[in-house]
Structure 1
């Protein structure tokens, strides 16, 4: 059973006919897209994403256009739902899997020490330290670049991406502390 949020109840109008698209992902999350046409001819789309147990992850609704066909509105809603799901995915490092979220460690002795059995609290502490170190290094590099009188656009993009990933790593580790 889905636990509807405020956006659904604001959108709900039982007098208007609705076409619905529903999908259940492999991990149990549910996508619901509804489309309707108002008496004024405006096509409206509701997008709901729910956790496996039914809790609302995201709900939103949009005005699409005058007399847009239901098929196109539902297709757009499905694409928007998948984009929302991609945005809400937890950070996954684009490099080989490790015990930490820091940059790729190549020193075998450091890797061996990291692979030792440790408690979850110790693991989170190491991950937090690594994430903070990477963030500070990326921030420092970006500040240095900002102080330069002339910057190559490719270098700027590279440093911006590094800083963005460092921020994502820190947020991911902080979520680990909260859960």
Structure 2
């Protein structure tokens, strides 16, 4: 039983028929995507992510476009839901368990701009650019510390090492997200019902 949040009740309109996609992850988290077309012809998508006990972790809905096919809207919603799940997962490297990475962007104005509607590829491109810039900055800071002629405070050394570790892991995390996204796109592009009969 899912415990719905405010966004779901704002979304709910029993007069409009919906198409639904649902999935349950290995850890019990649940993904729900609904798509509908309003009386005015606007295609809308609802994305809900719920924990194993049914509590709402994320709910949101948005307009997709005028009379976008429901199948296409559901695919977008499922892809976006997987991306949201991936963004909240801690990265686990093969050699050791990692803690969740600390936020890279903390400026509220920048974060507000990042929350605007963007395509998946634009979002991934920004993340990759941020991760690359932070890696170079952390790498340069560590090199400068190593070249220091004076003794280094152990706390300072630990902070620089942790920053570099997170920068490396962040780059891998972004690449992993990109590979999952492109793999998902290729699978959907090659699905039989999308190919025309020649």
Please indicate the TM-score interval, normalised by the length of the shorter structure. Answer: 0.5 to 0.7
1:94 Cα deviation from its structure 2 partner: 3.9
Flag structure 2 segments of 5+ consecutive residues without an equivalent: 103-131, 142-159, 167-198
Runs of 4+ in 1 over 4 A off after TM superposition: 154-157, 160-163
Name 1:148's counterpart in structure 2: none
Q: Once the 2 structures are TM-superposed, how far is the Cα of residue 26 of structure 1 from its aligned partner? A: 1.2
Unaligned residue ranges in structure 1 (runs of 5+): 102-130, 132-153, 170-179
Asked if structure 1 preserves the Cα contact closer than 8 Å seen for 2:11 and 2:61, the reply is yes
After superposition, the Cα gap between the structure-2 partners of 1:155 and 1:167, relative to the gap in structure 1 and judged at 3 Å, is: closer
What is the TM-score when the length of structure 1 is the normalising length? 0.56
How far apart, CA to CA, are the structure 2 residues paired with 1:167 and 1:13? 49
1:19-53 deviation per Cα after TM superposition (whole angstroms, max 9, x unaligned): 10111111111000000000110000000000010
**1:17 counterpart residue number:** 17
Paired with 2:133 and 2:16, the residues of 1 have a C-alpha distance of 53
**TM-score, with length taken from structure 2:** 0.51
| Superposed displacement of residue 167, structure 1 | 10
Map of 1:126 onto structure 2: none
Whether 1:73 and 2:70 are equivalent positions in the alignment is: no
Structure 1 residues 168 and 77, CA gap change in structure 2 (3 angstroms):
farther
- Paired residues, what number? 115
Determine the C-alpha separation between the residues in 2 that align with 1:167 and 1:53: 37
Residues 1:54 and 1:39: Cα distance change in structure 2 (over 3 Å): same
For the pair shown, which has the larger CA radius of gyration, 1 or 2? 1
Relative to 1, partners in 2 of residues 1:39 and 1:160: Cα closer, same or farther, differing over 3 Å? farther
Alignment of 1:5-154 (within 5 A): 5-90=5-90, 92=91, 94=93, 96-97=95-96
Counterpart for residue 111 of structure 1: none
Q: CA RMSD, aligned part only?
A: 3.1
Return the alpha-carbon distance in structure 2 between the equivalents of residues 56 and 81 of structure 1.
Answer: 13
